[in-house]
Chain A
Amino acid sequence: MQSQFLQFLFSGVTVGATYALAALGFTLIYNASGVINFAQGEFIMLGGMGAVFLAQAGLPLPLAIVLAIALAALAGVLVEKLAIEPAGNAEVVTLIIITIGASLTIRGLVQVFLGTGNHALPAFSGEAPIAVLGATLLPQSLWVLGVTGIVVAALAWFFGRTRMGKAMLATAHNKLAAQLVGVNVRFILLLSFALSAALGAVGGILVAPINYTSYDAGIMLGLKGFVAATLGGLGAGMGAVVGGLLLGVVEAMTAGYVSSAYKDATPFVLILLILFFRPQGLFGKKGTDRV
């Protein structure tokens, strides 16, 4: 009984770490520009697919990974430059549709050039499962959790201790004021998209050995990442991580104890519950409007 629970917990936390990385990406862009980026899932997919095809083309795995992340960041920059910037101060709905258009374009291009098949990356340190208290854990899961932890710590340092990070936070808080103190808002926006895409790509690469990747891997991941970000409170970095992990665990528990068929409904039921009882999310602040 206890080992069953532990098994559910392990799988929940592993998949939750991916959601956390996706949610962080959403939060970053939302903070910097107020845009809810529905193309975030595609950045995750680009990481995984990019690494797979670069490795297949003959590059050694570490190089393929680095290059894939760079490519995803480039895609993020392109989306910002070609789609978001020209839109200027458009309404939220318009921006949402633009990001949806961007996600369709990226997905369509990958489908045309890389095909519709499923692909896997070799596990980073082998496939032998590790037994822990009656449950098993894949070594890759440890990679996922470990790297996510490092990334979160790095981001905390970036935002708390570096000028660039603080400039980003300032832009998120009040664009005009940030501009007035000399922050290059345009560059911050570009950087936020690039960083967000890179984060997504890292997540995609980490789980590709476990989850496989394909041209449409981004759809569900993107949606669930968005839900996780909302759960944690759109705009709160810590919230994104907690939201992602929580979402993964609740999903696994639902599959284990309630019904495996309705597992996929879990994130969306959670979001309704949160909106009814605590709309600002677990860590978000209650918003106020100046009249």
Chain B
Amino acid sequence: MMNIFKSNCGVAVLAAALALLPLVLPNAFYYDVAIRIAINACVVIGLNLLMGYTGQISLGHAGFFGLGAYASAILTSRFGWPPMVALAAGAVATGLLAFGVARPILKLKGHYLAMATLGLGIIISIVIINESAWTGGPDGMQVGPFGLFGFELNGEHMWYWLMAALLLLVTWFALNLIDSPAGRALQAIHGSEIAARVAGVDVTASKVRVFVLSAVLASVLGSLSAHYVGFLSPGVSGFSHSIEFVTMVVVGGMASVFGSIFGAVILTMLPQLLSTFEGWETVAFGVILMLTMIFLPKGLVPTLRLKFSKAEP
């Protein structure tokens, strides 16, 4: 039963769930929540590859998300570029930046990447806030709709199917990556960096590759998110958004692709659910974070997996 999560059956189950979900979503608002969950899930799957498998923490992933978002917004609104090209440009720029920062840092051992990404994310935020001639500053900017070869994506229904397909693609890709030789190298690094090095794995190069991959993924999702919401403000690249992503990874389960999806589901819905708490939302969120981390330190999916595997005869 556990293997459902591990093998491609898991992807099939996810596909079925995504296909059937519209039957129970009553109105466009619920589609909106589902789309936001899918966006977050894709980013978090990428982040999880970095955190769960190489044991590095990124405290600035929202910065990459924001870079992609603003690149798309500025290039399409102010320069008239086609959305797909703008998205690609944003992804390339983010990838280069991630590579430039990661290469020197990841040579070191320890949590230096956490501090570097913390700094990078906040710098990106500040630049976005200050360069208001380009970015609209704290009051934000409008973003045009996303289009492919003249076909425009409008409305929650179209976006739902796009995001569902993308989520499936990213999930399948991540699962296959983990099972590949490259992925096994990653798992070896997580187990013991030194042992991996002894076994011949180029640890630094692997870590850099994963970091750049997760940054590019965040950038692509940022671009899509900007087009979907239609409006962008500097908060998307802020420190709290980065922490939200990290929390989704940890709550869902590190080193677990489906855990990332669950983490995204729970934490995207939480503000909507907590909205009934009238002023106590921050306290409620903080308490939930602490309790989850204390009692489910491995995250939701791995803990459940352990529970079920113990129950097997």
Q: Do chains A and B touch in the complex (CB under 8 A)?
A: yes
A104 close to B286 (CB less than 8 A): yes
A-B contact pairs, 5 of them (CB 8 A): A93-B57, A101-B287, A262-B130, A275-B115, A289-B109
| Main DSSP-derived SS at the A contact region | helix
A 135-173 to B, binary, CB cutoff 8 A, 1 in contact else 0: 000000000000000000000000000000000000000
| Main DSSP-derived SS at the B contact region | helix
State the total of A-B contacts with C-beta under 8 angstroms. Answer: 122
B57 close to A96 (CB less than 8 A): yes
A 200-233 to B, binary, CB cutoff 8 A, 1 in contact else 0: 0000000000000000000000010001001000
B294 close to A108 (CB less than 8 A): no
Stretch at the interface among B5-13, B14-22, B32-40, B118-126: B118-126
Judge whether B282 is part of the interface by a CB distance below 8 angstroms: yes
B126 close to A112 (CB less than 8 A): no
Given the known inter-chain contacts A112-B280, A276-B104, please indicate yes or no for A93 contacting B290, CB distance below 8 A. Answer: no
Q: Which residues of A contact B243 (CB under 8 A)?
A: 100
CA distance A287 to B110 in the complex (A): 9
B246 close to A93 (CB less than 8 A): yes
Q: Which residues of A contact B283 (CB under 8 A)?
A: 104-105, 108-109, 112
Q: Which residues of B contact A86 (CB under 8 A)?
A: 294
Judge whether B51 is part of the interface by a CB distance below 8 angstroms: yes
**Cβ-closest 3 pairs across A and B:** A104-B286, A101-B289, A108-B282
Given the known inter-chain contacts A93-B51, A93-B57, A108-B282, please indicate yes or no for A268 contacting B293, CB distance below 8 A. Answer: no
Complex interface residues of chain B between 226 and 260 (CB less than 8 A to chain A): 239, 243, 246-247, 250, 254
> Which B residues contact A (CB, under 8 angstroms)?
51, 57, 101, 104-105, 108-112, 115-116, 118-120, 122-123, 126-127, 130, 194, 239, 243, 246-247, 250, 254, 279-290, 293-294, 297
> Which A residues contact B (CB, under 8 angstroms)?
36, 82-83, 86-87, 90-94, 96-98, 100-109, 111-112, 223, 227, 230, 261-262, 264-265, 267-269, 271-272, 275-276, 279, 287, 289, 291
A93 close to B254 (CB less than 8 A): yes
CA distance A255 to B283 in the complex (A): 35
Q: Which of B281, B285, B293 contacts A94 (CB 8 A)?
A: B293
